[in-house]
Amino acid sequence: MTTVRIPTPLRRFTNGAEDVPATGATVAEVIEDLDRNYAGMKARLCESDGNVRRFVNIYINDEDIRFLQQLQTPVRDGDELSIIPAIAGG
């Protein structure tokens, strides 16, 4: 089980929850699981070709997956996956 940390703009998908559990052996599988439980989440995170959108940053614990194996980065039990958006207004 992985804990996924949800940024404010996506909490309307999770009924306001800041952290939600998800399963999967890779980041891609965790995102698929998120999308099963919270429909529409994947489209917010990934382009239509499946790649993570450029302005979305995904971290496993404190590591940016762009510097690991991107969507194929392995996810272990107890890991924390954080979705960090770009900074908005002001």
Partner 1 sequence: MGKPAPGLDNCRACESVLDYVGNTPLIRLKGLESEIGRPGVELYAKAEWFNPGGSVKDRAALLIVEDAERAGLLTQGKTILESTSGNTGIALAMIGAARGYKVDIVMPSNASEERKQIIESYGARIIYSSPLEGTDGAQRLAHRLCSENPKKYFYSNQYGNDSNWRAHYEGTGVEVYSQTRGRITHFVAGVGTGGTIMGTGRRLKEYNADIKVIAVGPAESLHGIEGLKHMATSIKPAIYDEDFPDAKVSVPTNEAHKWVHRMAKEHGLFIGLSGGAAIHGALKVARKLSCGVVVTVLPDTGARYLSVRF
> Looking only at residues 6 through 35 of this chain, which bind partner 1 when binding is defined by CB under 8 A?
6-10, 12, 18
Nearest to 19 by CA among 90, 79, 75: 79
Dihedral sign for Cα atoms in the order 29, 26, 60, 90: negative
- For 37, phi then psi, to 5°, come to -85, -30
Taking residues 59 to 78 in sequence order and writing x for each that binds partner 1 by CB under 8 A, - otherwise, the string is --------------------
Q: Report if residue 36 touches partner 1, rule: CB under 8 A.
A: no
Where along the sequence are the contacts to partner 1 (CB under 8 A)?
A: 5-10, 12, 18, 44-45, 53-57, 82-90
